[in-house]
Structure 1
């Protein structure tokens, strides 16, 4: 993927401050360190930055400027972009990855002083610093979400899942492709297709759990039932649960279409409400990010309870590279993508699994694979852009392009990771019932 370097073209000069009201471009010059990796224009006719840059920013309205002034950083930019008040040129909205690389590598902010802030406010009017309503796609701040209960209560978790996953099954079909797998794929090589890599991921989970025909699998946070159907095709009786009603309905139709209804079932149900037990294996693929770090002890204890002695858990989730950072996700992800999501390091996950009673047998970091997965999803979104916009609207489609491209960069730069951790519920006298050496092919 091509990245953009700062141009050596001429940078426009602004009139010195004090000769009149500050233009939008002059304000940008106050907070951005030259040279800029883009050419910026604004509704007031001002501009700055290299004229021949392939990337362009256009601040189309005072509301867009208000968003950026009242929520400095990513959130303000995202609000302006999603609302249509910040227009981008040189990139496709389905895949703004090149732009994000350029901003990450070449854009530097200068912290304005109090006199700078006062000068901007005086020039634009103090009303310019009064926040305006964000785009309707934005979730309320965390402290305002108590209408749906305390954080990670069943009701509030259900609302968060509904907000993200009940967008449109047709939209997900376009973005995810035939696998309908919304989790990290496992690529046998960098040139493998997304479908091949997703099939390989399900094979890897199945093999790590060492599932055999006639055994029973519980797949929690099962999405559209892809893991459930993969296991059922191989003779395993599989139950999947999801908090998305649309996912459950889609998955049940797919199960019937494949003739797997005697072996497979997907329920619209909280994993905490599953009454069955004695499962041979539990797969949790992309759920742990949603449950809250404080709930890990109860989460892992509940999974231990539903397993038989010798049963195995494969926990697959996004992680941080360290264990001592804050758990909350960044503002853009929390407000527009995964409300109430929380991430921590693999060390914390392993510790909590061990403290709950699991013996951890294996841990694997697949972060590069997630970057490749996101590359594939962005390509699908770009390919079917018009159909996706028709299905969910332009603002939501733009959210997805930005979130997936940004996440790709995050995995590439080791800002986030993806870990699979395999644990066993020990039997009598510490029996793990596993082979002496690794029994699956990576």
Structure 2
């Protein structure tokens, strides 16, 4: 990972022992993926699709070779080992025969369950949160991204100190979940984590202040912000590249994009916008990551238009869309921010389904079917984005005091002032503006 904090040379977080130790090894780590299917669990997903997503997550790390995977049906959870004794023995025999070194459990695993399973099976074990944290650590490139992922990992590790981690060792691209920490005193680890959290928060505060200054500067620019959001691997970065001509990494891989990217775009209508590519969402996103990345995700909150990019070819596209809606709601995005659904990857849909999707989208003004890969439907999407900012304008009169000179200047910069009159206490300014401009003025 590049762009690391300059003062981290002596930091135990950057010692050997993390996932990069496997990246430099002669061969990748042999892994097996398990998806527990608990009957009592209320979920939108079919277990087979959940397993497929978990395998894709595992394959997103080059240090891991997925040897096999399976859905494990559970009538109830065993408190100490998650799985029943019969299944434990069956899996132990299989792992030994296949030479498995790492087991990935697609779901929550308590510290006690993790310790017992590792001891019984003789392997390292990661749960879903650990795996996603490893992927984020491997992908973060900016200083802010690095700090955010480290903070999320520390928060997660602190909650699992029953397992008695060592000094949170890692080399560069992970957090030691795979690398194999040993035993040490819990209290010593807790103090080490708390000290590290304080230091990281100080560094992150400085970086966040810089981002806030950039956001404030953009608020003064009369160009609307359009944010691309969606489930991971929905094709946001490919669409971003298609529209902007940029070269953001776009691969058929979960979490190919982690750090947000913004570019200015001139639409065919001549209107200028700022397009933002954001990190992809995923079901059961670790709460530690949501908290740590809130500053980055706030770019979505400041957007004037949200384009929800969906992989319309995915068998669970509706469930993915529901997960995205839940995360947007948790971030505080309301119906006040206009949204467009972009049904992407139309090129992967069969002819009959394709006709049905195109007909269905024609009945809705907020849906555009496209293929970011081939360019089909992109012109219509750009026209729709442009139309979104042809908003109805209202005329109001504002009274500004002499102390509001900066806000008065902002109104003139936006070219919304119809007339202005001096008063004894300031100015009476009549403006004609859109709801979007009114929102920005309040934030200015």
TM-score by length of 1: 0.25
TM-score normalised according to structure 2 size: 0.25
